[in-house]
Chains A and B, each alone.
Chain A
C-alpha cells in the first residue's frame, strides 16, 4: 500500500514562474519529509527536508511547506529554471523504521524557456 503519493505524474512550467509539486502521505508516524531530484539512470540528489515540528523550510529558490493536519506537503521552486527539469520525488521517514525512506512515484517537471 502506497504510503506516500504524488498524484501528478508530470508538470510543465514556464521559466521564471513558480513550480508547485505536491505530495500526500497516510502514515501519521512519519516525522521527517524530504524532496529529491533525480535524472534517469542516476542516484537521487537531496534537495530540501522538513521536520514534522515545522510547517515551512526554505533554502534559496526551494521552499517546502508541511500541513500535518491534511497530511500534505508541497515543494515550491521560485523562479523556475530550465535546469530544474527532472523527476522530483517526495519521501517520508520515521524513527520506527530506522529512518528508511518511503517514496512517492515522482513528478516529472519540465521547465520551458
Chain B
C-alpha cells in the first residue's frame, strides 16, 4: 500500500527536550511539507522541501528544524526553543507533475509536559 506514515501517533516529552517526528512516504512524491494545527485553527506551514537536500522555512519555522536526506523521508525536530510545542503535527507530500494536491499523513499529537 502506498501512503504517508507518521510515527508515533501520540508523543509525550518533558519541557526542554528536543524531539523528532517521523514522516515517511512511498508515493514517489517530490515535495514534502510539515504543518501544525492548534485547537480551533487551520493548519500552518512550518517547513517544506521540494527536492532532496533542499528545504525552505514556512510561516512558523522558529524553534523547528528539518532534514531531507532521502526522497522518502522528511523528519521534523521540535527543539527546546519552540515556545508552544504542544500541537497536532501533520506531514504531507505532493508529486510535482500531478497537480497541486497534497496528501496528508495521519498526524502526530505532541504533548510537552
| A98 adjacent to B104 (CB under 8 Å) | no
Q: For A4, list chain B residues within 8 Å (CB).
A: 42
B43 on the A face (CB < 8 A): yes
B50 on the A face (CB < 8 A): yes
B45 on the A face (CB < 8 A): yes
Task: Give the number of residues in B that approach A within 8 Å (Cβ atoms).
Answer: 28
| B43 adjacent to A103 (CB under 8 Å) | yes
Supposing A41-B107, A43-B107 touch, asked if A101 and B99 sit within 8 A by C-beta, the answer is no
| A106 adjacent to B42 (CB under 8 Å) | yes
Q: Report the nearest A residue to B6, measured CB to CB.
A: A43
Tell me the chain A residues, 41-57 only, with Cβ under 8 Å from chain B: 41-46, 49
Q: For B26, list chain A residues within 8 Å (CB).
A: none
Tell me the chain A residues, 24-70 only, with Cβ under 8 Å from chain B: 32, 34, 36, 41-46, 49
Q: Report the nearest A residue to B56, measured CB to CB.
A: A98
With A and B bound together, what is the CA distance between A6 and B107 in angstroms? Answer: 23
List A residues at the B interface (Cβ < 8 Å). Answer: 4, 6, 32, 34, 36, 41-46, 49, 89, 91, 93, 98-106
Q: List 19 A-B contacts (CB under 8 A).
A: A4-B42, A6-B42, A32-B100, A41-B109, A43-B92, A44-B43, A44-B104, A46-B101, A46-B102, A46-B103, A49-B100, A89-B42, A98-B56, A100-B33, A101-B35, A101-B45, A102-B45, A103-B43, A104-B42
